[in-house]
Chain A
Amino acid sequence: MNYDVAVIGGGVIGCVVARELSRYCCRTVLLEKEEDVCSGTSKANSAIVHAGYDAETGSKKAAFNVKGNAMMEPLSRELDFAFRRTGSMVLCFSEAEMPALHALYERGRANGVPGLKLLSGEEARGLEPNLSDEVKETLYAPTGGIVCPFGMTIALAENACENGVEFALETKVEHIERAGDGYVLATNRGLYRAAYVVNAAGVYADVFHNMVSERRLHITPRRGEYCLFDKEAGGHIGMTVFQLPGAYGKGVLVTPTVHGNLLAGPTAADQENRDETATTAAGLNEVCQKAARSVKHLPFGQIITSFAGLRAHEERGDFILGEAEDAPGFFDAAGIESPGLSCAPAIGSYLAELVADRGNFKKKQDFKARRTGIVHAAALPVEERRALIARRPEYGAIVCRCEEVSEGEILDAIKRPLGARSLDGIKRRVRQGMGRCQGGFCTPGVMEILARETGIPMEELCKNRSGSRMIVS
């Protein structure tokens, strides 16, 4: 199979690069080892669009963050995914910490972050009444925001797919070799040849890079645990609140989510294993304790789930973006840890342009920039919802009661381009099972629909990748 470009990895970075490449006349394939896109770091993170004051001035992180932040809103409208500019605050709890907060403010200004303001504790509590009484001063960034990371990644993937990118799922790259003017990628599903490779493999990006380059990368998976609260707690605060950053990242934040829940986390623990995302009692406890320092009266009894994700930390501390020096045509998007999600739109355009320049690809005339997401019937105005159900009665049959997801939406999740083939795939597309009962009532019904629509027997349905069977008979 011959391609112009092979993108390794179907996370937000792989998908945004694929989508941006789909503006050009080139044959692109995206190789993803899991059964769906958005199955690694992109599915388990803080879901934050950072303002851009954290990263050192002059770093790639700083430049791409400010740019990506500005691109996020138009992109969310173009591709119909959930994004909200809520603003954010960094909290400082003592006089001693104030110089660090002020340094962050200065750095933000140097990075070009608009609208930054230092607020006193009282001013901050005026905006966020549940902020801890210990808060002495805060750095307020009006451009901070929140996004649905699944919604965004899947939107990018669907749009790329519609514009001709091929998605090879459950296709695990095992080996890469330079061959002639391009590369041969050996996978569990055979050989893929491509003139150019984009390495967006998350915590595995160093492994692939080091197969073709002598300039070694070293990525450390850094695990972060989170707790998610019921929507009843969603209004507890209105914007993301951070603590002052430490050596391991931005510390534990508390944030509303675009879907109205409340999220607290992450911890930061370096590990060797690139797949281990178990939560730990100590980690979850740490999240709760630290979150309680920022925000008072957190209703810990309303936690509905907890999870962990891995950040791909490269030892030099900055993103590695662009063509590898000693591997022509091999482009890295490596070390994409926070603020990677915020930077994604900017990284996508940057890398796609680099690759297109190298390959001399022409722009397409018929690129479809717009994508319409799955209709969430419950979010429609009453008359529109009535009309929809009259036309398509399946939107009147509620399957997931907590998130009010109808059978119509579940069918959409399955039948769209790159449709869901697993229960998690459905969940990430339409939020079935993401509510307070965590799928207790609707799982059997959704299994039945998935089996019926895909022809996969009930006994073979999976939660996510093959092997994660729902039924062991």
Chain B
Amino acid sequence: MICHDIVIIGGGPAGLAAAAAARKNGMEDILILERDRVLGGILNQCIHNGFGLHTFKEELTGPEYASRYIRLVKELGISCRTGSMVLSISRDKEVTVVSREKGLQVIRAKALILAMGCRERPRGALNIPGCRPAGIYTAGTAQRLMNIEGYRVGKEAVILGSGDIGLIMARRMVLEGAKVKAVAELMPYSGGLKRNIVQCLDDYGIPLKLGYTVVDIEGQDRVEGVTLAAVGPDRKPIAGTEEHYRCDTLLLSCGLIPENELSKGMGLPMNPVTSGPMVNDRLETGAAGVFACGNVLHVHDLVDYVSEEAALAGEHAARYVRNGGAESETSGHLPVILRAENGVRYTVPQSLDPGAMAEKVTVRFRVSDVYKGRSVCVYLDKTCISRQKRRVMTPGEMEQVTLTRERLLQAPGLKEITIRTEVEE
């Protein structure tokens, strides 16, 4: 059987950064498996700028950002196989992969890094009623057709959902000469970054209709129009608020779902809020030596944070292999559970080991609603150890707090860390 020290599933930003970090931590024998024909993942179709401000301190396009990591991985001599689709992974880290060139193979890994990314929620999952003509695309599919294949999908569009890809595509359609009549968002706030609303909608005079959804799609062959309606606090359409828009295209940007079919197939414990695997402070999943990072773990807002998180997964995977793949390192401490509460939707990681953890651990999370002037509070069991006031927090932007080992070790018998928002007096 073919064996490698570390096998990385996915050659997008997460997989590439994990590979580079594992190599820098002494791993020689690394293999990246990528299902697409090229490395770089979805970044390849994100030809707009805004990537890399944190990582490279400059503003890059998606392909530029990807190419830096691709070059790095090549320079480090890391093996990559593209056009290689992983079909299943067993609990003992045997990866079944299929490709045109090598057929069906089983590859054994000492450590595995899951970096499969995410997919878009399709129309069916949104249960939008109406006709089923051509011209209904997820924003990402339309983006691929436009930016990679070179075809503008339509002339007049309505966009449902204000996720970042939807916002970016609104501008992209306009730049290619199409008319974008409206962006409708079910929630009373956008799911995207503030800067994208300003730069992609406001600057082009595209109306953002918060608290609206699509209640009907018309057209037997191609989309001919859609009907929007305002929704009430229960998110159900309010009769009498319908507005009709003529258009030939409906783009959907209504959420991303981590692609965890392989993780579920392995029986990894999953977090129902993130739809990603549960991980500890080493980004190690419920299976020893199996790590996860990037959008397969939880959907990120910026690729820079993906790279940072993935590097950590790569480093810990390397350490796991160096330690002979023995039982996961523990300090004898019972794992401490991280709890998300009162406006904090989830945390990544979901547990940590204060004895064995790094000096500092970054805990990432998202909030459930738009909060102004609230504080992010960290409790060690019942004791509040930190309270940071944030001017505004929105569900579209990831938040983070840093925990230090030093502080955690000062709490004897620590069982639970709670991250919550609190209204300031």
**0/1 interface trace, chain B 135-162, chain A, CB 8 Å (1 if under):** 1011011001100110111110000000
CB contact between B131 and one of A277, A385, A436, A473 (< 8 Å): that residue: A277
In the bound complex, CA of A224 to CA of B102 (Å): 46
Give every chain B residue within 8 A of A284 (Cβ-Cβ). Answer: 127, 129
Q: Which of B117-125, B292-300, B369-377, B395-403 contacts A (4 or more CB under 8 A)?
A: B117-125
> Does the CB pair A306–B127 fall under 8 Å?
yes
A280 within 8 A of B: yes
A62 within 8 A of B: no
In the bound complex, CA of A407 to CA of B222 (Å): 27
Asked, given contacts A305-B122, A397-B100, A469-B222, whether A280 binds B134 with beta carbons under 8 Å apart, the answer is no
Closest to A225 in B: B129
Give every chain A residue within 8 A of B93 (Cβ-Cβ). Answer: none
> Does the CB pair B98–A307 fall under 8 Å?
no
**0/1 interface trace, chain A 255-284, chain B, CB 8 Å (1 if under):** 000000000000000000001011111011
In the bound complex, CA of A439 to CA of B218 (Å): 21
Closest to B154 in A: A472
The B-contacting residues of A in range 273-327, CB under 8 angstroms, are 275, 277-281, 283-284, 303-307
A63 within 8 A of B: no
A401 within 8 A of B: yes
> Does the CB pair B220–A458 fall under 8 Å?
no
In the bound complex, CA of A439 to CA of B138 (Å): 9
A448 within 8 A of B: yes
User: Helix, strand, loop or mixed for chain B's interface?
Assistant: mixed
Interface centre among B122, B132, B215 (most CB of A within 10 A): B132
> Does the CB pair B129–A386 fall under 8 Å?
no
Closest to B131 in A: A278
Give every chain B residue within 8 A of A307 (Cβ-Cβ). Answer: 132
In the bound complex, CA of A385 to CA of B96 (Å): 13
Asked, given contacts A278-B130, A396-B103, whether A473 binds B151 with beta carbons under 8 Å apart, the answer is yes
CB contact between B144 and one of A232, A436, A444, A464 (< 8 Å): that residue: A444
CB contact between A389 and one of B104, B151, B218 (< 8 Å): that residue: B104
**Closest beta carbon of chain A to B88's beta carbon, Å:** 10
**Closest beta carbon of chain A to B406's beta carbon, Å:** 42
> Does the CB pair B248–A441 fall under 8 Å?
no
> Does the CB pair A389–B149 fall under 8 Å?
no
B323 within 8 A of A: no
B408 within 8 A of A: no
> Does the CB pair A467–B145 fall under 8 Å?
no
Closest to B105 in A: A386
Give every chain A residue within 8 A of B134 (Cβ-Cβ). Answer: 462-464, 468-470
The B-contacting residues of A in range 206-232, CB under 8 angstroms, are 227-228, 232
CB contact between B153 and one of A397, A436, A470 (< 8 Å): that residue: A470
Closest to A378 in B: B87
Asked, given contacts A398-B85, A437-B120, whether A386 binds B103 with beta carbons under 8 Å apart, the answer is yes
Asked, given contacts A305-B122, A440-B119, whether A396 binds B153 with beta carbons under 8 Å apart, the answer is no
In the bound complex, CA of A342 to CA of B103 (Å): 40
> Does the CB pair A283–B129 fall under 8 Å?
yes
Give every chain A residue within 8 A of B119 (Cβ-Cβ). Answer: 436-437, 440-441
> Does the CB pair A438–B123 fall under 8 Å?
yes
B221 within 8 A of A: yes
The B-contacting residues of A in range 398-418, CB under 8 angstroms, are 398, 401, 404, 407
Asked, given contacts A382-B104, A463-B133, A468-B221, whether A444 binds B99 with beta carbons under 8 Å apart, the answer is no
A443 within 8 A of B: yes
A393 within 8 A of B: yes
CB contact between B149 and one of A303, A385, A448 (< 8 Å): that residue: A448
Give every chain B residue within 8 A of A232 (Cβ-Cβ). Answer: 264
> Does the CB pair A398–B98 fall under 8 Å?
yes
> Does the CB pair B221–A280 fall under 8 Å?
no
In the bound complex, CA of A275 to CA of B220 (Å): 8
The B-contacting residues of A in range 438-473, CB under 8 angstroms, are 438-441, 443-444, 447-448, 458-459, 462-473
Interface centre among A393, A394, A437 (most CB of B within 10 A): A437
A127 within 8 A of B: no
Asked, given contacts A448-B149, A468-B222, A470-B153, whether A437 binds B122 with beta carbons under 8 Å apart, the answer is yes
Give every chain A residue within 8 A of B130 (Cβ-Cβ). Answer: 278-279
**Chain B: how many interface residues by the 8 Å CB criterion?**
49
**Closest beta carbon of chain A to B90's beta carbon, Å:** 14
Asked, given contacts A280-B129, A304-B125, A467-B222, whether A440 binds B100 with beta carbons under 8 Å apart, the answer is no
Interface centre among B103, B130, B152 (most CB of A within 10 A): B103
In the bound complex, CA of A399 to CA of B402 (Å): 41
A100 within 8 A of B: no
In the bound complex, CA of A141 to CA of B237 (Å): 42
> Does the CB pair B83–A397 fall under 8 Å?
yes
**Closest beta carbon of chain B to A238's beta carbon, Å:** 21
Give every chain A residue within 8 A of B103 (Cβ-Cβ). Answer: 385-386, 389-390, 393, 396
Asked, given contacts A305-B124, A458-B149, whether A396 binds B104 with beta carbons under 8 Å apart, the answer is yes
> Does the CB pair A279–B85 fall under 8 Å?
no
In the bound complex, CA of A227 to CA of B123 (Å): 12
B35 within 8 A of A: yes
In the bound complex, CA of A195 to CA of B148 (Å): 54
B101 within 8 A of A: yes
> Does the CB pair B129–A281 fall under 8 Å?
yes
Give every chain A residue within 8 A of B418 (Cβ-Cβ). Answer: none
In the bound complex, CA of A180 to CA of B27 (Å): 85
Interface centre among B83, B134, B149, B221 (most CB of A within 10 A): B134
In the bound complex, CA of A358 to CA of B36 (Å): 58
B249 within 8 A of A: yes
> Does the CB pair A471–B151 fall under 8 Å?
yes
> Does the CB pair B215–A281 fall under 8 Å?
yes
> Does the CB pair B138–A440 fall under 8 Å?
yes
Give every chain B residue within 8 A of A404 (Cβ-Cβ). Answer: 85, 87
In the bound complex, CA of A396 to CA of B123 (Å): 29
**Closest beta carbon of chain B to A448's beta carbon, Å:** 7
> Does the CB pair A438–B124 fall under 8 Å?
yes
Asked, given contacts A279-B129, A306-B124, whether A472 binds B249 with beta carbons under 8 Å apart, the answer is yes
Give every chain B residue within 8 A of A471 (Cβ-Cβ). Answer: 145, 151-154
In the bound complex, CA of A464 to CA of B221 (Å): 8
> Does the CB pair B129–A278 fall under 8 Å?
yes
> Does the CB pair A303–B153 fall under 8 Å?
no
In the bound complex, CA of A448 to CA of B145 (Å): 10
The A-contacting residues of B in range 42-88, CB under 8 angstroms, are 83, 85, 87
Give every chain B residue within 8 A of A441 (Cβ-Cβ). Answer: 119, 141
**Closest beta carbon of chain A to B230's beta carbon, Å:** 15
> Does the CB pair B85–A401 fall under 8 Å?
yes
**Closest beta carbon of chain B to A308's beta carbon, Å:** 9
Give every chain A residue within 8 A of B140 (Cβ-Cβ). Answer: 440
Give every chain A residue within 8 A of B264 (Cβ-Cβ). Answer: 232
**Closest beta carbon of chain B to A128's beta carbon, Å:** 24
Q: Which 3 pairs across A and B sit closest by C-beta, in order of nearness?
A: A305-B124, A467-B221, A438-B122
Q: Please name 16 pairs of A and B residues whose Cβ atoms are closer than 8 Å in the assembled complex, sorted by A.
A: A227-B127, A232-B264, A277-B131, A277-B132, A382-B104, A393-B100, A396-B98, A396-B103, A401-B85, A439-B122, A440-B141, A463-B134, A463-B221, A469-B221, A472-B135, A472-B155
Q: Given contacts A232-B264, A443-B137, could you give 16 more A-B pairs where the C-beta distance is less than 8 Å?
A: A227-B127, A278-B130, A278-B132, A279-B129, A284-B129, A305-B123, A305-B124, A389-B98, A396-B98, A396-B101, A398-B98, A438-B124, A444-B145, A447-B145, A464-B134, A471-B153
User: Interface of B with A (CB < 8 Å)?
Assistant: 35, 83, 85, 87, 98-104, 119-120, 122-125, 127, 129-135, 137-138, 140-141, 144-145, 148-149, 151-155, 215-218, 220-222, 237, 248-249, 264
